[in-house]
Amino acid sequence: MTKVSIGLRGWRFEEEEVFDESGAFRPFTEMAPDTRDRIGRLMAIIDNPCDACWLIHGEEKQQRCRPATVVYGEPLREVVLCDTHEVDFLYWFREAGGRDLAGKRTFQNGFHQWFADGGRAPDGYAGIEHVETEPDLVPEPSREEATSVDDEIASLSEEDRESLDIDLDDLDV
Ligand SMILES: [Zn+2]
């Protein structure tokens, strides 16, 4: 069983549950409800700006927000972040009470509030071992057609797919 991320790092899926042998998306009806919810939500948020950038720049300066590269939390209560702000999130999660909100409705608000109040990881906080991977290699589901998929994922080797994953089981909230 291989776990893969799709589009954004963070949420991971059983490859066999999401893709068929040819690498195409399975129909939603064949997926478990939780998987279906996550994939559906992922497609809605895949192009969102980073939550933390958004809190800093706001709607008027939206173009200054970096795109999200990682997602944490549960669908509809998720937090999406750029690489820079992921460190702040990890600090909040591990050291500033975020873990206690895992799976709760206040998860997203809790982080937003902490960040808006000036919460940041201290300088040099080692949030995460840098993942050596080309972001462009992370396959993206097509937004128009849920059943079609980039040929990219089919052409990825097992090893490449593994390297797209990050080991953050303690964050699997
Ligand atoms: Zn950001």
Instruction: Please report which confidence band the pLDDT of residue 59 belongs to, taking 50, 70 and 90 as the band edges.
Output: confident
Mean pLDDT for the chain overall? 80
Residues with CB under 5 Å of ion ligand 1 are 50, 52-53, 66, 82, 85
Taking CA atoms, 141 is separated from 16, 72, 145, 151, in Å, by 15, 18, 8, 10
115 Cα–ligand 1 center, Å: 11
| Alpha carbon of 34 to ligand 1 centroid (Å) | 27
pLDDT in tens, 114-170: 999 999 999 888 755 544 333 344 444 444 433 334 444 444 455 554 544 444 444
Give yes or no for residue 4 having a pLDDT over 80. yes
Among 2, 6, 27, 25, smallest CA distance to 15 is for: 2
Residue with the bigger pLDDT between 47 and 155: it is 47
Q: Residue range 2-30: average pLDDT?
A: 92
In contact, 77 and 108? CB cutoff 8 Å: yes
Report the separation in Å between the CA atom of 130 and the middle of ligand 1, taken as the mean of its atom positions: 16
Q: How close are the terminal C-alpha atoms of the chain, in Å?
A: 20
pLDDT tens for each residue of 65-108: 999 999 999 999 999 999 999 999 999 998 999 999 998 999 99
CA distance 168 to 30: 27
Cα 71 to ligand 1 centroid, rounded to whole Å: 12
Q: Classify 81 as helix, strand or coil.
A: strand
**How many Å apart are CA 163 and CA 142, to the nearest integer?**
22
Interval 44-62 mean pLDDT: 94
Instruction: Please identify which residue in the block is written with the tokens 């059983």.
Output: 14
| 51 Cβ contact partners less than 8 Å away, ≥ 6 residues apart | 68, 79, 80, 81, 85, 108, 111, 112, 115
Residue that the structure tokens 């589901």 belong to: 141
**pLDDT of 38:** 94
At residue 165, the pLDDT reads: 46
77 C-alpha vs ligand 1 centroid, how far in Å?
A: 17
The structural domains of the chain, with segments of one domain joined by +, span: 3-171
Q: What separation in Å is there between the alpha carbon of 68 and the centre of ligand 1?
A: 7
Find the Cα–Cα–Cα–Cα dihedral 50, 129, 95, 115, rounded to 10°: -20
Among the residue ranges 10-24, 27-41, 130-144, the one predicted with the least confidence is 130-144
Identify the CA nearest to 39 among candidates 142, 159, 164. Answer: 142
* pLDDT over threshold 90, residue 1: no
